[in-house]
Structure 1
Amino acid sequence: MIEEIESWIYQVNSSHKEVRRSCSIFEEHFNGFYSPEFMKTAFFVVTDEIPKPDFPGLREAGLGDFIDMDLAGITYNDTYYIKKEAANELRVHFHELVHVLQWRELAPQGFIERYIREIQYFGYNNAPLENMAYALDGHYQSKGRHLSVEQFVRENL
């Protein structure tokens, strides 16, 4: 199933390559949190609908609630998808960029396997990868001191 999801993600990202935008446009907002080099290699797509894999195997694995969730954004490797109504919310972009880093550190297969396990075991609201992203975007939102999110993710996965 992991390979099927990975293939689906590759297809989704490939089909949106022409409309994705570089996150470097957020450099000024996220200065001190994300490096300019990282921002140039992360991308986002503004969309009406968040693309999600809806394979029977995922539902059988107990992920139906996650698949059916109304999300503001979702990350697939180096690209995240954000709903139009959330496109101006810096906190959502910040959150999804944490996931881009998690994907990089864990590699696609590692991220997918871990994310599924965490959702199954803890549920979305208590999944450690999500908790990390929510804690960091909350720190940013509260105007917390600058910290290297890249280093934080690397050290805390």
Structure 2
Amino acid sequence: MIEKIEEWVHQVNSSHRDVRRSCSVLADHFNGFYSPNFLKTAFFVVTDEIPKPDFSGLREAGLGDFIDMEVGGITYNDTYYVKKKAANEFRLHFHELVHVLQWRELAPQGFIERYIREIQDFGYDNAPLEKMAYALDGHYQSKGRPFSVEQFVRENL
């Protein structure tokens, strides 16, 4: 199933390659949190519908609630998708960029396996990867002091 999800992620990202934007356009908003080099190699797509895999195996694994959950954004490897109505919410971009870093540090297969296991074991709200992203985007939203999110994620996975 992990390989099937990984293949699906690749197909989704490939099919949106022409409309994705480099996160370097967000550099002024995230100065001190994310390096310019990282932002150049992370991308986002503004969309009407958030793409989600919906394989029978995922629902059988107890992930139906996650698949059906309304979200403003979702990350697949180096690209995240945000709904049009949430496209100007910098906190959401910040959050999804944490997930881009997690994907990079864990590699796609490692991220997918861990994310699924965490959702199964803890539920979405208490999944450690999500808790990390929410804590970091909360720090940003509260105008906390800038620090290297890249280093933090690397050291805390």
Task: Give aligned-pair identity as a percent.
Answer: 84
> How far does residue 97 in structure 1 lie from its aligned partner after superposition?
0.1
Distance 2:103 2:115 in 1: 10
Match of 1:113?
Answer: 113
Match of 1:20?
Answer: 20
> How far does residue 56 in structure 1 lie from its aligned partner after superposition?
0.2
> How far does residue 55 in structure 1 lie from its aligned partner after superposition?
0.2
Poorly superposed stretches of 4+, deviation over 2 Å? none
Q: What SS class does the counterpart of residue 107 from structure 1 fall into?
A: helix
Q: What SS class does the counterpart of residue 18 from structure 2 fall into?
A: coil
Q: CA RMSD in A?
A: 0.2
Match of 1:150?
Answer: 150
Deviations 1:63-101 (A, max 9, x none): 000000000000000000000000000000000000000
Match of 1:131?
Answer: 131
Q: What SS class does the counterpart of residue 46 from structure 2 fall into?
A: strand
Deviations 1:29-80 (A, max 9, x none): 0000000000000000000000000000000000000000000000000000
TM-score where L is the length of structure 2: 1.00
Matches within 5 A, 1:66-81: 66-81=66-81
Distance 2:29 2:107 in 1: 27
> How far does residue 11 in structure 1 lie from its aligned partner after superposition?
0.2
Distance 2:26 2:8 in 1: 28
Distance 1:85 1:138 in 2: 20
How many residues align? The count is: 157
Q: What SS class does the counterpart of residue 27 from structure 2 fall into?
A: helix
Distance 1:144 1:138 in 2: 9
Match of 2:32?
Answer: 32
> How far does residue 111 in structure 1 lie from its aligned partner after superposition?
0.1
Match of 1:55?
Answer: 55
Q: What SS class does the counterpart of residue 30 from structure 1 fall into?
A: coil
Q: What SS class does the counterpart of residue 75 from structure 2 fall into?
A: strand
Q: What SS class does the counterpart of residue 80 from structure 1 fall into?
A: strand
Q: Does 1:141 align with 2:141?
A: yes
Counterpart code for 2:140: Y
Distance 2:43 2:19 in 1: 10
